[in-house]
Amino acid sequence: MKRLVLLLAAGALLAGDPPHLFYSRAFPGSKPDYIQVVLEKNGDGVYQEAVDDDLPLKFKLTEEETQEVFGLADKLDHFKHPLESPLKVAFMGTKTFRFVDGDQKSEAKFNYSEDVLAQQLQDWFERMAESAERRIDLERAVKYDHLGVDGALQGLEAAFENGRVVAPEQFLPMLDRVVNNETYMHQSRARAAEIAEGIRNMNNPKK
């Protein structure tokens, strides 16, 4: 009897798992040729470059960002309807949107969608992925290639200028590490300080 109660409790917990969104893009020949992002409703996100990625990268969206992403999924009826365009277009990778809520799951796969909402949601996930890739590049340079740090920082600056960065706070630990370590070039430290200041000013705008 006790075992049955435990099993029922475990089942209830599983069924009550909070909803999350999944996005993947598989495009052989691109770099990387596979990406996936999982976003929880509390803003916690995980980026991977393989289904069995040993080093998934975690980040956290703001409440406002998270609401916008989940709001688009709501408007798309959680992907219960086809999103693929009937137009004949070049192959640009197989994308997958998936909504999971407990034991309920719905998904849609497509190469190209004309649905504006789907395009907006895809752009959100692609920006999450691009931000993660910029962070990976910066962390790799900071740890293993001091001369490459300035190039990674320039790439990050360009991403900010083009509006391709989400959850910018995720970069602060690495930026501060560069700023506070004199083994990095002065130019890199100054650039890192400027980017870090810009990120902090986003959250604490001057009155």
Q: What confidence tens digit (pLDDT) does each residue in 115-158 have? A: 999 999 999 999 999 999 999 999 999 999 999 999 999 999 99
Mean pLDDT for 8-23 is 66
Q: What confidence tens digit (pLDDT) does each residue in 68-83 have? A: 999 999 999 999 999 9
- Cβ partners under 8 Å of residue 170, min gap 6: 59, 60, 131, 135
The pTM of the whole model exceeds 0.95: no
Site of tokens 């070039």? 185
CA distance 78 to 108: 9
55 three-state secondary structure: coil
Helix axes 116-144, 149-161, angle to 10 degrees: 160
CA dihedral 118, 67, 21, 111 (to 10 degrees): 10
HSE-CB for 84 with a 13 A CA cutoff: 15
Does pLDDT of 66 surpass 60? Answer: yes
Nearest to 30 by CA among 99, 114, 129, 131: 129
pLDDT for position 91: 96
Mean pLDDT for 159-168 is 97
pLDDT for position 138: 98
pLDDT band at 12 (very low <50, low <70, confident <90, very high): very low
CA distance 112 to 150: 36
pLDDT for position 203: 74
